[in-house]
Structure 1
Amino acid sequence: MSHRTAITIWFCCGIAPFLSWSSSVSSTPARWLVTLAWLAGWVCLWQATRDPTRQQLLGCFASTHIARLAAALWLLIGLAGLFWIGGSSGLFFALMPPLGLLALWASSSDGIQLRKRTAGALCTIAALAFSIVGLEMTLRWIHARRPANDYRTITWGHPVTTNRFGFREREFKVPKPSGTYRVMVLGDSFTWGSGLSLEERYTERIQRHLRERFPERNIEVLNFGQPSTPTTEHARNLTQFVDRVTPDRIVVGFCVNDPQPRAQNYAVELDNYRWLFLGIETLGRCRLVATRQFLKTRCDQLLRNIGVIPQWWIALDRVYQPDSTEWQAFCAALKSIKAHNARRGLPPPLFAALWYGRGNFNQPDTRLRLIAKWCRQATRAAQTAGFEIVDMEPAFLRQGDRNRWVNAWDGHPSAECNRIYAEHLSRPLAAALRNTASD
């Protein structure tokens, strides 16, 4: 390894802190220390190349194994700094071509060797680029054959519209018209209706059923479902909107990941591979969106299948430990909802665990067994907090072996599941309406 190689490697590493500075605005002692270390290394290198004698000494040192190891470590630390200190940056990709040429120059002994290596590198890069573009086009073609879905404007072919409050619900009058019986339903994507039309959601089914039974009443069942949110967020939504909604009854639709404030598949072990997923995320900046999602999913599956990261149902079960902070926050959110309900003098809020999944709950696999366990545990917690429980377990036990997914690509509850939810929730609401009518 010549002194040119040492200079090149040191230069490549020396720009790392500046890239981190450009991609992050926060300032921490760790970033200052790393930046100062790089600057000190650059100054020392500059001093060592100021005259031929020093260059010769640097070349002798660069030819040793220790120098190669030191240079490799500095290069790795520099690349790690891009991702761990400042995050990936578009500037990094912009600098890749000139840095690549600089590396080829440093490792070539003459112009002929430089041209050969440059041609080989260009061929390799071109082949890799064509492969990636081909993969991206193939994945986009496959996705184009499925119903459109982005969970914001469309959900598996069903358009999504929101009201002025940002919920997937029609506009409603504020203040509530006199004589209106209004139900406020809180929940996550199960309540929001992933993969379902508005008419297929259990909230619309409840409203239709109640209006048919009580045609003389003005009944509104309002959906305040919000995808990817925990029960703690549902309690905050209630606090924010309850005065404008002025409900006569509050309903909580529970999904098994509601105690988890992070993603359903989150596991603490994922933090050890953050560098991998950050690297994959950079593909999105190159408009390789389908490839990014494909690699994220496959890498996640691989890490779980080889056992370095637990499967999502094993990781989620940790949240249900009574002493976990997530479970305690979930129980506190239930108490908060009940307290709001009591302050308004309303009947006890309804709590419904929304069962789902593929298989037979009478002969459950590991996932179904845990889903049943979580639903029962959450139901007991809600009952302790003072909720009125709507128990759907017997209905799902009677189903036997069943695919309850909304479609082949999405595990959210099907329209049939929503029919069962509506059937069970309609009963206590209808009873309350009969009582108010008799009063």
Structure 2
Amino acid sequence: MKKASKTLLLVLASTAASILVGIAVAAYLTVPRIPLIAEGGGLLVFDPEIGGRANPDSHARRIYPAVRDRQTFAFDIYTDDRGARVDGPGRKSPEQVDILVVGDSFSWGYALANEETYARHLARDLDTSVSNFAMAAYGTTQSVQMLRRNADLSPKLIVYGIIAHHLERNVSPCLPSYYPFCFSASHVAWNEAGQPSIARPRSNGVQRFQRHLAGDFLDPVTWFTHGIDVVRGRIEYGLATYGTPTDEKKEEALAYLLREMQRSADQIGAKLLVVYLPTNYYSAPKALPRVIGDIELLDLTEAFQRERDKGVNLYIVGDGHPNRDAHELIAREIAKYVGDKDLLEIRSSSLQPD
């Protein structure tokens, strides 16, 4: 009996040790450190419908050390009480805005101060109010959801900045992240009847990311629970990577989301303008003109290529996001298009942006 008990204890101890070693390897030892220093408050808060959204009334600072051919850079992110990006602390959202911007990091203004983003330039160029609800890593899915969340602002024009990668993001349960685990997010899924809809995120990727970035997992209990969560996130990431839908499904998802965005705009009496923002001067995906329908589309490929041919660089060196010159160009092109198409009737009493 004693021998059996001793054997059982050895088996249990060996199993426990194997589990702990497995967690250590999968959740910590094989997860690389990322070239990012986060200061201030949390940039994102978990949202059970979207996955992550901007932390309202917050200030976060991001510092990116030099890597390869990219220089060190840092920028501050301030948000108002709704989570829209603003110039400084303590800003409140207006009760109504003329233009509402949604999109990803190209529209959010990655690596730039808010004053340098195309949304802020639009506010000045058109002398009107603009709220920017774009966020890094978002796709069309989250852009539709943020539009709906803030429909009570009654914008007259919605500007959606789309990039080619949104086709992949729209159908993936994991948004792009620095870490090899899932940053869980809403995504398009299909039911048994083949009908698309927006599915909720599968887990709390915001907490997973922020805890790992901060190194807030040193006590044994948190080390274990966070480790298990990272393992879960790696499994989700693997399933998302190897379960990528076909190009046809990606196109179908984009078409569905654009229809939903147009429907939401119609419900609040707003016009919708989709702006294609080139990555590395590349042309828009062939799927975009096929599914855009009668939605206004401003393709900035030629404008970007024209500046490139003049010798003007429009991307952050070693990074690929639009730089200050690019955001100024984007704002000029949008403002001209809005004026030419009469998409925005500016009120003389238009609220001034923060």
Q: Is TM > 0.5 for Structure 1 vs Structure 2?
A: yes
For the 8 Å contact 1:189–1:225, the answer to whether it is kept is yes
* Among 75, 90, 93, the residue aligned to 1:158: 75
* Among 289, 295, 300, the residue aligned to 1:392: 300
- TM-score, normalised to structure 1, is 0.48
1:231 aligns with 2:136: no
Per-residue Cα deviation, 1:94-115 (whole angstroms, up to 9, x for no partner): xxxxxxxxxxxxxxxxxxxxxx
How far did 1:413 drift? 1.8
Structure 2: distance between partners of 1:149 and 1:406 = 24
For the 8 Å contact 2:163–2:276, the answer to whether it is kept is yes
Q: Which runs of 5+ in 2 are unaligned?
A: 44-59, 64-73, 183-208, 220-229, 348-354
Per-residue Cα deviation, 1:225-282 (whole angstroms, up to 9, x for no partner): 1222221121111112102x1000111011333231423379x999xxxxxxx9xx69
* Among 168, 172, 175, the residue aligned to 1:263: 175
Q: 1:435 to 1:230 in 2, by over 3 A?
A: closer
Structure (1 or 2) with the greater strand fraction? 2
* Among 256, 279, 294, the residue aligned to 1:356: 279
**Number of the residue aligned with 1:58:** none
- Asked which structure has the greater CA Rg, the reply is 1
Q: 1:224 to 1:381 in 2, by over 3 A?
A: farther
Mapping of residues 196-235 of structure 1, within 5 Å: 196-211=112-127, 219-235=128-144
Equivalenced residues, count: 259
**Number of the residue aligned with 1:380:** 289
**Number of the residue aligned with 2:316:** 406
Structure 1: distance between partners of 2:344 and 2:80 = 31
For the 8 Å contact 1:162–1:168, the answer to whether it is kept is yes
**Number of the residue aligned with 1:72:** none
Q: 1:434 to 1:338 in 2, by over 3 A?
A: closer
**Number of the residue aligned with 2:252:** 328
**Number of the residue aligned with 1:33:** none
Q: Which amino acid aligns with 1:191?
A: S
Per-residue Cα deviation, 1:63-97 (whole angstroms, up to 9, x for no partner): xxxxxxxxxxxx5x65564588xx669xxx9xxxx
Give the secondary-structure state (helix, strand or coil) at the position aligned to 1:356.
coil
For the 8 Å contact 2:101–2:134, the answer to whether it is kept is yes
For the 8 Å contact 2:277–2:299, the answer to whether it is kept is no
Structure 1: distance between partners of 2:292 and 2:320 = 27
**Number of the residue aligned with 2:94:** 173
Structure (1 or 2) with the greater helix fraction? 1
1:193 aligns with 2:136: no
Q: 1:328 to 1:159 in 2, by over 3 A?
A: same
Q: Report the aligned-residue RMSD.
A: 4.7
More relative contact order, 1 or 2 (CA 8 Å, 6+ apart): 2
1:241 aligns with 2:167: no
Q: 1:388 to 1:284 in 2, by over 3 A?
A: same
Which has the larger displacement, 222-231 or 426-435? Answer: 426-435
Give the secondary-structure state (helix, strand or coil) at the position aligned to 2:130.
strand
Q: 1:187 to 1:322 in 2, by over 3 A?
A: same
For the 8 Å contact 1:188–1:225, the answer to whether it is kept is yes
